[in-house]
Structure 1
Amino acid sequence: MGQEISSHKFSEQAYSQFRMRLMENLDGLKSMLNRPGFGCGPSSIGAELELYLVDKHGRPLSLNREVIDRSGHKQLALELNRFNLEYNLKPVAAAGTPFSQMENEMVSAIELVNHHLSAEQGQALPIGILPTLKRSDFGLKALTDESRFYALTQALQKLRGKMFCIKIEGDPPISLRSRDVSLEGANSSMQVHFRVSPERFACTFNALQLVTPVVVALAANSPFMLGHKLWHETRIPLFRQAIDGRSHEECDRGIPSRVDFGNGWVREGAYELFAEMVHLHEPILPVIGDENTLDIINKGDVASLQELCLHAGTVWPWNRPVYDQKQGGHLRIELRALPAGPTPCDMAANAAFSLGVAKGLQEQMDEIIPAMPFSVLVKNFYLAAEKGLQAELMWPVLSQAGGLKKLSVAEIVQELLPVAYAGLNALEIEPQERDYYLAVIKDRVDTGITGAYWQLREYQRLYKKLNHNQALTQMVQRYMTLSATNEPVVRW
């Protein structure tokens, strides 16, 4: 969805041609994946950091285009709503000190945006959902003026009807109706990209799927939406409901959502995930490139697969395959479930734990999968998002009789920390780096303090002497001050 398009109106002929090109792209992808050595190369890590722009009162500042114009920085990109920005981190080798490099670049990115908001006394804030948002902050006026965002709204309306309905349980529950996708723009995330070889894709992807519910509970940082106390990671239900393009009939028939945890364990590799995207989800942005995919591939060259990549950008599984033409063509896994914040240090620790566990578990996935029904994993994911560290998840036990056992997130993390340790060693992460970031995770579990827990606790403390809106505002202002120190949230 980062690609700009020139129009948001498309003919039926455009959709038909686009579907044909998608099938050609799939054939091309299969051919390239079958080439000996395709996609091989050193592992690397990248990330996309989404940030809120806020004023000194913790209210949103609709200045994303102005910040980009002022800075001229090529790694900054527009986001759906005018009060959000994205910073694309430079990929780094998945060895040595990648996580501290990511942390340092995130600190620099926030400082860059802050510099260009100084006239407004504003700052960039990494947080899953800004608690001080109001219903009046949304609507068409909130959308960044780009054709792709209007096209997305119109395409999803065409699929599901004019109104988007959102209902999330909480204290109190929330029920919203909207004619556009601007409510989705309340979500702010830190999306991690991990380059993997095609032959290791399936086991690595499955390992990341297994650990994602645990990491979501650990990283939770979105307990408020429009003043309502909802899930610890409210981004999860909000994003799904704000973007889900299914009609009521399709929901009743079990047609997968465009925002989903997946349809099962990956059996062979990335191709099947791209094929699912093509076969299960209608195109919504049929922009056709000028590349002759099959001709390029038949000559032994590497195609860009423009249509497939664009279509994949309009399907949002929580872990997503990515194809990239660069460096001779390669595959990545994009981790989409992690929220932004509370600090660059916390976000780097989330990435280190996730990738360490995935690397440490990938050789065991053939044993784990038979003991872990995918339907149970999906329930783990939503329960972790709702309850955070207080969730109890079903976890596979491979010793003795095996089976599934209900464990607290803390118990699972204690079991996985040695796995992450071994996985980071296998990635050749420097010992000091490994120990530092895993200690951040361990401290979080030992104290029970996540970003979501801190927000809820701080709000409750302030609410004893202030009204609801005042308590939310002062909590966000306190968050802004502490986040800027880059001290892990457990030390706040």
Structure 2
Amino acid sequence: MGQQVAKERFSEAEYGRFGERLKDSLLSLRELLGRPGFGAGPATIGAELELFLIDADGRPLRRNKEVRAAAGDDRVVLELGSFNLEVNLTPLPLAGRPFTALAAEARDLMLVVDKAARSQGGRVVPIGILPTLTVFDFTRDALSDETRYRALSRGMRRVRAEPFRVQIHGVERLELEVEDVILESANTSWQVHLRTPPADFARVYNAAQLAIGPVLAVSGNSPSFLGRDLWEETRIALFEASADDRDMERPWRVDGRVCFGSGWVENGAEELFELSVREYEPVMPVMDDEDPLAAVRAGGVPRLAELRLHQGTVWQWNRPVYDPAGGGHLRVELRALPAGPTCVDMAANAAFLLGLVAATAAGPEWTEGFPFADAYRNFYRAARNGLDATLAWPGRAEPAPAAELILELLPVAEEGLAAAGVDGPEASRLLSIIRERVLLRRTGAVWQREALAALGEEPGARAAMLARYRDLAFTDQPVHTWPGPLRF
């Protein structure tokens, strides 16, 4: 979605040509992935952090273009909502102390954006869902003033004529309908990228599908939306509903445009790219002037701009990425973690996730004996119930409480990080944050709920909670150490 889009209206002929180019891109990708040595190299990681802009009252501030301009940093980019920004962190080797570096750069960029936001009468906050949002924040004029987002909105309405229906049943119930994809802007995330050699892709991707359940259970930071107490990580349900392009004409398709998936990957990254082209209609048919087949058959590395653009409009929670930069490579993009509460919390979440992925991908084959349905249930149970979820795991006869399973998996993650060359003290320090979160049962979602309960029914309780949350988020003290309600 970061690619340039010059117009927002397209003809049916353009959609047809784009579909043909996607088929050529898949053939090119298949040939490229079969090229000896393509995508080889040491593991690297990168990350993207989405942020909310708020005004002095804690309400969303629709000035992201002005804030980006004031920031003057190419790493700061617009997101879908005019009250959202994203910061892109510098990729670096997984070996060494990558999580400390990511956390430091994320914090530096948050300070840059916060300073720029102050020039516009606002502040910035890293949180999964802004608790002060109301239904009046999701009109069409809340979209960022960018052609690509207007094109995305039109394209999604082309494939789904009906309103987008949101039904979330958590502690309370929420049901509403909207006419546009603008509800996507209610969600901000911490997206981690892991460079993966093509030969290892299926094992790494499947490991990510397994690992995300217990990691999400201890990372929840989005307990409410529109004043309703919902899931521990409400983003999962909300994003799936807000970009679901299925309608009455598509009852045959199991997965929406935002999904976890429906089976273990067997044939590598190309299997997932082919699925995206086969199952999901294009929404922005922007054509590149490259002939991808000619490029790859001439020994080059094709841009595959159409395929990358299309893939950027299909939001699997774990998503394959093709990048032509630096001779070309593949990445697994891990998209399910929320923004916040602090940079060190996000670094700990990434370390736990990548450690589990490394250990599980390097271990004995387990996908044949562990049903994909169990990983699927793990993901949604973790999103709904957090540390109170019951999760399955390979080698366990029965599902276990998430808190118990996470404590058992921390040494596994530490072994995975060590095998990947991560500095031992760094791994221990970050995984100890996860351990303390479990032992104290204090995630970002739990802290938000407790803070709101302490404030009671007083007017402006959510804004007051958010102001305190924002101040604590910039201390960079992990959320399990934050003052409890009695000291609020």
TM-score higher than 0.5: yes
Partner AA of 2:118 in structure 1: S
Deviation at 1:257, TM superposition (A): 1.2
User: Which residue pairs with 1:470 in the alignment?
Assistant: 460
User: Which residue pairs with 2:53 in the alignment?
Assistant: 53
Aligned partners of 2:94 and 2:420 also within 8 Å: yes
Partner AA of 1:297 in structure 2: V
Aligned partners of 1:52 and 1:83 also within 8 Å: yes
Deviation by residue 1:433-472 (Cα, 9 ceiling, x = unmatched): 1111011111111111100011011111111xx43x5221
1:304 aligns with 2:297: no
Q: Which runs of 5+ in 2 are unaligned?
A: 483-488
User: Which residue pairs with 2:389 in the alignment?
Assistant: 391
User: Which residue pairs with 1:401 in the alignment?
Assistant: none
Aligned partners of 1:211 and 1:354 also within 8 Å: yes
Counterparts in 2 of 1:1-150, with a 5 A limit? 1-150=1-150
Partner AA of 1:262 in structure 2: G
Deviation at 1:100, TM superposition (A): 0.3
User: Which residue pairs with 1:371 in the alignment?
Assistant: 369
What percentage of aligned pairs have identical amino acids?
Answer: 45
Aligned partners of 2:246 and 2:253 also within 8 Å: no
Deviation at 1:142, TM superposition (A): 0.7
Counterparts in 2 of 1:90-489, with a 5 A limit? 90-250=90-250, 252-364=251-363, 366=365, 368-397=366-395, 404-463=397-456, 466-467=457-458, 469-489=459-479
Deviation by residue 1:102-149 (Cα, 9 ceiling, x = unmatched): 000011011001111223452211000000111111111211011221
Deviation at 1:159, TM superposition (A): 1.5
Deviation by residue 1:273-304 (Cα, 9 ceiling, x = unmatched): 11111111111111110001111111111101
User: Which residue pairs with 2:486 in the alignment?
Assistant: none
Partner AA of 2:476 in structure 1: N
Deviation at 1:180, TM superposition (A): 1.1
Moved more, 162-171 or 437-446: 162-171
Aligned residues: 482
Aligned partners of 1:396 and 1:405 also within 8 Å: no
Deviation by residue 1:391-418 (Cα, 9 ceiling, x = unmatched): 11122226xxxxx412011121122111
1-side partners of 2:43 and 2:346: how far apart?
A: 20
Deviation at 1:160, TM superposition (A): 1.8
TM-score by length of 2: 0.97
Q: Secondary structure at the match of 1:297?
A: helix
Deviation at 1:31, TM superposition (A): 0.6
Aligned partners of 1:56 and 1:477 also within 8 Å: no
**Structure 1 pair 254/291, CA: closer, same or farther in 2 (3 Å)?**
closer
What's the Cα RMSD here? Answer: 1.3
Moved more, 66-75 or 228-237: 66-75
Aligned partners of 1:48 and 1:88 also within 8 Å: yes
User: Which residue pairs with 2:485 in the alignment?
Assistant: none
2-side partners of 1:364 and 1:97: how far apart?
A: 23
Deviation by residue 1:65-107 (Cα, 9 ceiling, x = unmatched): 0011112210010011111100000101111110000000011
2-side partners of 1:324 and 1:488: how far apart?
A: 33
1-side partners of 2:455 and 2:68: how far apart?
A: 36
Partner AA of 1:333 in structure 2: V
1-side partners of 2:255 and 2:184: how far apart?
A: 19
Q: Which runs of 5+ in 1 are unaligned?
A: 399-403
Partner AA of 1:37 in structure 2: G
